[in-house]
Amino acid sequence: VIKCKAAVAWEAGKPLSIEEVEVAPPKAHEVRIKIIATAVCHTDAYTLSGADPEGCFPVILGHEGAGIVESVGEGVTKVKKGDTVIPLYIPQCGECKFCKNPKTNLCQKIRITQGKGVMPDGTSRFTCKGKQIYHFMGTSTFSEYTVVADISVAKIDAAAPLDKVCLLGCGISTGYGAAVNTAKVEPGSTCAVFGLGGVGLAVIMGCKIAGASRIIGIDINKDKYAKAKEFGATECISPQDSKKPIQEVLVEMTDGGVDYSFECIGNVGVMRAALEACHKGWGLSVIVGVAAAGQEISTRPFQLVTGRTWKGTAFGGWKSVDNVPKLVTEYMSKKIKVDEFVTHTLPFDKINEAFELMHSGK
């Protein structure tokens, strides 16, 4: 058993608490990882807020991390002690019907137990003050050591800077893949990206790499426009600057609507606007943001009858074990940006400050 520091969420709506936790050794088909760097994501905040129907407490959150394999359990063959890895919240077992189907990346092998905050055998590897602590998204990267299933880990280039590539564990991969895999943005097309946070910037990057000629960024926070343009946005607009609904503004700006739109916020009203901003006959809108439990999307069916398509994406459609190492290689060869997404680097015990910075849009 390893004793180390972790940021424990004891209950919903309270700040994380830095505690000493015990991390049990990995069982069969499990891997124990020394986490070197982790990022914070809105999904962590969503669960911490108490809005997540799958949220279990007390829990160790975190799902954008990178580290070094400390030890492996029986039967683990894909990684060994000392390997550099990124934990994966969407695993890839290679055996389930989802993994065998090229149309999806949603491996279901450990979905049930992962959603309940436990390892595949139904138990936790974390304890603190004599209490069992739940796992989160199969990763729990807000701990100096974590244990994950062997299908939830990608071995990456040992030379990669872990304080940067940890972001490929969720946000950047999600946005970039939404553009290149889910939407399959084409050269010369017009795109609209709603929400200019980390995921939205990654969508913009993907649209630019795919050759889009016009990329419109949409956000009420104008402080985000300069960064969006660095990533490839050709123009940025705020829904608050017009009396008309934003979809009408976009339809007018683009002679009938955009070819591709992306909702990167998790707001069902914005999801509707993103669909309705698409061009009749061929427009495609991708939902990237995660809305709160129980919310529903709506539009008039005529929007779809007249040739618009509504799609969703999880982790950008990447088959995780296969593609995360390739994304790291693309970063190392400067095909995709990663460093530019990092705004602040804080010591682990300042993790609550990191959440405050995220909520304030900084």
**What 3-state DSSP class applies to 251?**
helix
User: Do 19 and 125 reside in the same domain of the chain?
Assistant: yes
**How many other C-beta atoms lie within 10 A of the C-beta of residue 121?**
12
Q: Are 175 and 207 in contact (CB under 8 A)?
A: no
Q: How far apart are CA 258 and CA 279, in angstroms?
A: 5
* pTM as predicted: 0.96
Dihedral of alpha carbons 123, 19, 146, 289, sign: positive
DSSP states of 61-88 as a string?
Answer: ---EEEEEEEEE-TT--S--TT-EEEE-
Q: What residue has token string 């799958």?
A: 54
User: Do 185 and 158 reside in the same domain of the chain?
Assistant: no
Q: Are 169 and 238 in contact (CB under 8 A)?
A: no
Q: How far apart are CA 167 and CA 203, in angstroms?
A: 14
User: Do 121 and 145 reside in the same domain of the chain?
Assistant: yes
pLDDT value at residue 40: 95
User: Do 165 and 178 reside in the same domain of the chain?
Assistant: no
Two tokens, residue 34: 């020394």
Tens-binned pLDDT, residue by residue, of the chain (362 aa): 999 999 999 999 999 999 999 999 999 999 999 999 999 998 999 999 988 888 999 999 999 999 999 999 999 999 999 999 999 999 999 999 999 999 999 999 999 999 999 999 999 999 999 999 999 999 999 999 999 999 999 999 999 999 999 999 999 999 999 999 999 999 999 999 999 999 999 999 999 999 999 999 999 999 999 999 999 999 999 999 999 999 999 999 999 999 999 999 999 999 999 999 999 999 999 999 998 888 999 999 999 999 999 999 999 999 999 999 999 999 999 999 999 999 999 999 999 999 999 999 88
DSSP states of 142-204 as a string?
Answer: SBSEEEEEGGGEEE--TTS-HHHHGGGGTHHHHHHHIIIIII---TT-EEEEE--SHHHHHHH
Q: What is the CATH number of the domain that holds 116?
A: 3.90.180.10
Q: Are 256 and 281 in contact (CB under 8 A)?
A: no
**What 3-state DSSP class applies to 13?**
coil
In the Cβ-directed half-sphere of 335, how many Cα atoms lie within 13 Å?
Answer: 10
Instruction: Name the domain boundary from 293, 314, 335.
Output: 314
Q: How far apart are CA 140 and CA 161, in angstroms?
A: 20
User: Do 262 and 288 reside in the same domain of the chain?
Assistant: yes
Q: What is the CATH number of the domain that holds 215?
A: 3.40.50.720
User: Do 24 and 133 reside in the same domain of the chain?
Assistant: yes
User: Do 31 and 163 reside in the same domain of the chain?
Assistant: yes
Q: Are 211 and 187 in contact (CB under 8 A)?
A: yes
Q: Are 153 and 85 in contact (CB under 8 A)?
A: yes
Q: Are 213 and 190 in contact (CB under 8 A)?
A: yes
pLDDT value at residue 126: 98
User: Do 61 and 107 reside in the same domain of the chain?
Assistant: yes
User: Do 215 and 309 reside in the same domain of the chain?
Assistant: yes
User: Do 58 and 186 reside in the same domain of the chain?
Assistant: no
User: Do 25 and 151 reside in the same domain of the chain?
Assistant: yes
DSSP states of 326-337 as a string?
Answer: HHHHHHHTTSS-
User: Do 21 and 129 reside in the same domain of the chain?
Assistant: yes
**How many other C-beta atoms lie within 10 A of the C-beta of residue 128?**
17
Two tokens, residue 55: 């949220």
pLDDT value at residue 53: 83
Crossing angle between the packed helical segments 42-49 and 351-359, to the nearest 10 degrees: 100
DSSP states of 264-333 as a string?
Answer: -S--HHHHHHHHHTBPTTT-EEEE-SPPPTT------HHHHHTT-EEEE-SGGG--HHHHHHHHHHHHHT
Q: How far apart are CA 57 and CA 304, in angstroms?
A: 41
State the residue range of the domain holding 236: 174-314
Q: What residue has token string 């209950």?
A: 11
Q: What is the tally of structural domains in the chain?
A: 2
Instruction: Name the domain boundary from 276, 294, 314.
Output: 314
Q: How far apart are CA 153 and CA 138, in angstroms?
A: 10
**What 3-state DSSP class applies to 135?**
coil
